[in-house]
Amino acid sequence: MSIITVERKVLEKNDEIAGRNRALFLSKQIFVINLVSSPGSGKTSILERTLEYFNHRVKLAVIEGDVQTDFDAQRIARYDTPVVQIVTNGGCHLEAKLVEDALVNLDLDGVKLLIIENVGNLVCPSNYDLGEALKVVVASTTEGDDKPLKYPGMFQHASALIINKVDLLPYLNCDLNALKKNALSINPALKVFETSCTTKSGIPEWCSWLEQNLSTS
């Protein structure tokens, strides 16, 4: 019982700070997504293709979360995009307080889209609100087609699913239709995109959806 009480208090405090983050984003009219996945799904590559697509037509900023290194932030910085790296030193997810602290180091004036790339993990990040408008989960074909059934919580909390690395399907034991069916059985409202960061297939559709959300936020 004491463990449940402690966990509830931690989440309540996190939600309080997430509320502050959300109020800040709303006041500045910034649309925020929380990009989540297991390690190696290609989140950072999708982020790179997204930055290429917008090509500074829309002002973006990025918060990178990682367990140990700043390699991802270095990749994003090459696109001349404001980016802050959060190193969790072993922590398996980002929390609202970490995002709040990172925002101090970001110039948000004029920013229309903020993308938070969470730590690679399909369990803990599903429980932590960061103040985002919505979560986007990435599942790569290299992970197989049963990921949604193994980690239903993340798919339940997401608004969109990016199925990445579809160019590798001919070489994998992954049924694309089964993957989509499994995800939609968990969350029928999921918006599904099929992408390849190598061929850039599906990237325009994903980015167009983001633009539509920007125009309505």
Positive or negative, the CA dihedral 80, 81, 82, 88 is: negative
Please give the Cα distance from 49 to 205 (Å, whole number). 12
Number of structural domains the chain divides into: 1
pLDDT (tens digit per residue) in 151-193:
999 999 999 999 999 999 999 999 999 999 999 999 999 999 9
Confidence at residue 3, expressed as pLDDT on a 0 to 100 scale: 46
User: Sheet holding 31-37: strands in order across?
Assistant: 83-87, 60-66, 113-117, 31-37, 134-140, 160-164, 191-194
What's the CATH number where 118 sits? Answer: 3.40.50.300
Task: Give the three-class secondary structure for 211.
Answer: helix
Domain of residue 45, residue span = 2-216
pLDDT (tens digit per residue) in 22-61:
999 999 999 999 999 999 999 999 999 999 999 999 999 9
Please tell me whether the overall predicted TM-score, pTM, comes out greater than 0.85 for this model: yes
